[in-house]
Amino acid sequence: MGTLKQFYKRNTHNAFLKTLAGFGRSLNRLYENRNYDVHSNGEEVVLKKLSSFNPAIIIDGGANIGDYSLLAGSHCPSAKIFSFEPVVSTFKLLKHKTANNKNIIAVNTGLYNTNKKQEIKIYDSHTHSSLYEIKGIDYSVQKTEVIELVSGDSFMHENKIEKIDFLKLDIEGAELHALQGFEKALAENKIRMVQFEYGYINITTKNLLIDYYDFFKKHNYLIGKIYPGKVEFRNYKFKHEDFIGPNFIALHASDSELQKSLSVRR
């Protein structure tokens, strides 16, 4: 084994090993589920499992044009879904697309750690709007817009929401700031389950996966990664800081019933 290691070290830029390394990286991304299709990456499975617990309140942070909200509504038809989308043009599409579902309430606001107005950067697609100028991508900012931002705790207070069954955050790098806006609700265990994105955009925001672990640990929440068919709950390790993403689940450590359901492959 030692001889083999020495061979690899001496030939790290050998054409064959370079190709093999590229294949290995691609295989790792595939294994680690770098997949944004909700129907095949495990996100829809999470919704199906959640439906058996009869959720009453779902928040879709970063609802875009409403595809995920409609999917959540199809699996959890009795749940009231608050769909947050701060960009006006995208919000209009969201309102139109979800108009026939009376349980979906479109909210023309973004989620953050405080109530404020802030400029958002809009890229060449309505699916890419961010508070950050994203580094390392092949497209650039097309325009900017000043949007309204609200903290989750203040939104819950203003709308008399006592508990959230499922908080889903896909807000292009601002997930940790939005979670900080729900700090009171999380401290009081009033949010049963959170889904958040972590990926290459976190290189721009400088919010690492360890920051999410540290944040949720304060409130006694466990973190697991969504894979096709199940959620793998695990302790943090350096190797998980791979920026592959895309989706993670957090739920309170006392919620063993939901944890068990999510952990079993379906």
Percent of the chain surpassing pLDDT 90: 73
- Listed by start position, the domains of the chain span 1-31, 37-263
Q: Which of 6 and 105 is assigned the larger pLDDT?
A: 105
Residue 221 has pLDDT above 60, yes or no: yes
What is the average pLDDT score of the chain? 91
pLDDT score recorded for residue 135:
77
CB 55 within 8 A of CB 191: no
The domain 37-263: what is its CATH number?
3.40.50.150
Beta strands in 85-142 (DSSP E): 104-107, 110-112, 116-122, 129-130
pLDDT score recorded for residue 85:
97
Average pLDDT on 117-121 reads 94
pLDDT score recorded for residue 127:
61
∠ CA 157-161-163, rounded to 5°: 120
Considering Cα of 249, then 254, then 255, then 256, what sign does the dihedral take? positive
Give the pLDDT band (50/70/90) at residue 60.
Answer: very high
Strand partners, 94: none
pLDDT score recorded for residue 2:
65
Q: Is 121 helix (H, G, I), strand (E, B) or coil?
A: strand
Residue environment code for 164-189, b if the CB has 16+ CB neighbours within 10 A, otherwise e: bbbbbbbbbbbbbbbbbbbbebbeee
Give the pLDDT band (50/70/90) at residue 7.
Answer: low
Strand 80-84 with 57-61, pairing: parallel
pLDDT score recorded for residue 15:
74
- What digits encode the pLDDT tens for the residues 137-180? 777 788 899 999 999 999 999 999 999 999 999 998 899 999 99
- What digits encode the pLDDT tens for the residues 17-42? 677 667 676 766 766 767 888 999 99
pLDDT score recorded for residue 20:
66
Q: How far apart are CA 163 and CA 99, in angstroms?
A: 25
CB 45 within 8 A of CB 228: yes
Residue 266 has pLDDT above 70, yes or no: yes
Q: Count other C-beta atoms under 10 Å from residue 19's C-beta.
A: 10
Main-chain dihedrals φ then ψ at residue 251, nearest 5 degrees? -145, 160
